[in-house]
Structure formats: C-alpha cells, structure tokens
C-alpha cells in the first residue's frame, strides 16, 4: 500500500517546485510518509481522534492531480494536527535517513504530501460508500483505526519500499503511543 500511495505523489513536480533533484525529493517523501501515517494512526487510536480524522478524510475525499490542487496552508494545518509540538522531532528523525536536503527539505515537503496522503486515505476509507454510509463512518470513525493500523503494520513489517523508514516509524509510533522513543 505504501507504494500505491507513493505513486500518487508527483515527485518530479515537487522537486521542480522546490528546486531540488528528483532523487532528493523522492528520498525525503519516502522518509516522511511513514511518519505522517504513523501520526494519523496514533490520532485514530481513541474515538475522538478517529472521528476527527474521519471528518478530515471526508474533506479531502478526491484526487490531487497536480501540485496546483494542493493547498499548502491546509497541509500545514494537517501537519500541526497530526504532530502537534512534535513536528520538529519528527522532521529531524526523518531527515537522518533522507539523502540530501535534510530537515529543511522535509519541512517543505511535509505540507505538500499531507493533503495527498489524506486524499489517498479517504479513497481507501470511503471507497465507493454512499452518502449515508460516509456520514456514519465520519461520525463514528468506523474502522479507521483498524485500517490505519493495518497499513502501519505493513510498513513496520517491511511492506513498503522504504526499509529505513520502518525504524523511524517504529520509534515515532512508540513515542506517540507512550512507548520508548
């Protein structure tokens, strides 16, 4: 599923917009996506967080075809909601394994990929549901934690193309959920 999400992200366009090499942008995206998904998973662990995330998903249900469709200010709000005051820690942890660009590049990419990740998750969560079913899922968070947990479990088990990101993800998710960081 990680590879499927990664394909939704216009890496070349992001690299061009930020004035970096495509490989640097690719590496930064691969490092930050697992952390972003882990943060969303942590937020969905309780009923209130699951409802809040389901509501955000309903607002992002649709496809981003280009960078012009991305609202970076909205992305900043998503990042703030997902990571809170831990954003700098998350960025620093992801930057350790990124090739080139470091924390600065990851900080710039994070609010670009956050809305794309939400739109992709929305398609998975709501996929083909009619409006009453979508409304119920939004109000209850119905199964969102399970869906994200399965995705994160796959990433931790090496299901994605990002083997180094699994270490960052495990440390981060442990920190969010009160484990060792």
pLDDT digits (tens, 9 = 90+) for 59-109: 776 666 678 888 899 999 999 989 999 999 999 988 887 776 689 999 999
Chain position carrying tokens 């109000």: 139
Q: Comparing 155 with 24, which gets the higher pLDDT?
A: 24
Q: Say if residues 52 and 43 touch (Cβ distance below 8 Å).
A: yes
What average pLDDT score do residues 40-45 get? 81
pLDDT at 136: 55
The separation between the first and the last C-alpha atoms of the chain, rounded to the nearest angstrom, is 25
What average pLDDT score do residues 136-142 get? 52
Helix (H), strand (E) at residue 146: helix 144-156
pLDDT at 26: 93
Helix (H), strand (E) at residue 74: helix 72-83
Q: Say if residues 13 and 66 touch (Cβ distance below 8 Å).
A: yes
Phi-psi region of 69 (alpha: psi -120 to 50; beta: other; left: phi over 0): alpha
Q: Say if residues 55 and 61 touch (Cβ distance below 8 Å).
A: no
- Residue 58 reports pLDDT greater than 50: yes
pLDDT at 106: 94
> Among 13-22, 105-114, 120-129, 145-154, where is mean pLDDT lowest?
145-154
Residues 6 or more apart in contact with residue 90 via CB below 8 angstroms = 32, 35, 39, 83, 172
pLDDT digits (tens, 9 = 90+) for 151-178: 655 554 544 334 334 444 445 444 443 3
What average pLDDT score do residues 127-147 get? 56
């Amino acid at each position: 599923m990680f590879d499927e999400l990664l394909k939704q992200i216009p890496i070349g366009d992001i690299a061009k917009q930020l004035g970096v090499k495509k490989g640097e942008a690719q590496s930064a995206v691969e490092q930050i996506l697992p952390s972003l998904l882990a943060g969303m998973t942590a937020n969905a662990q309780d009923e209130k967080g699951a409802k809040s995330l389901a509501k955000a998903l309903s607002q992002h249900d649709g496809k981003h075809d280009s960078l012009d469709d991305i609202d970076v200010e909205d992305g900043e709000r998503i990042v703030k909601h997902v990571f809170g005051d831990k954003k700098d820690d998350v960025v620093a942890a992801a930057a350790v394994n990124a090739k080139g660009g470091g924390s600065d590049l990851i900080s710039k990419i994070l609010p670009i990929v956050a809305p794309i990740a939400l739109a992709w998750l929305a398609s998975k969560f709501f996929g083909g549901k009619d409006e009453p079913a979508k409304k119920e899922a939004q109000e209850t968070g119905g199964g969102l934690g399970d869906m994200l947990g399965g995705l994160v479990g796959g990433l931790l088990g090496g299901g994605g193309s990002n083997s180094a990101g699994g270490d960052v993800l495990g440390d981060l998710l442990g920190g969010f959920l009160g484990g060792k960081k």
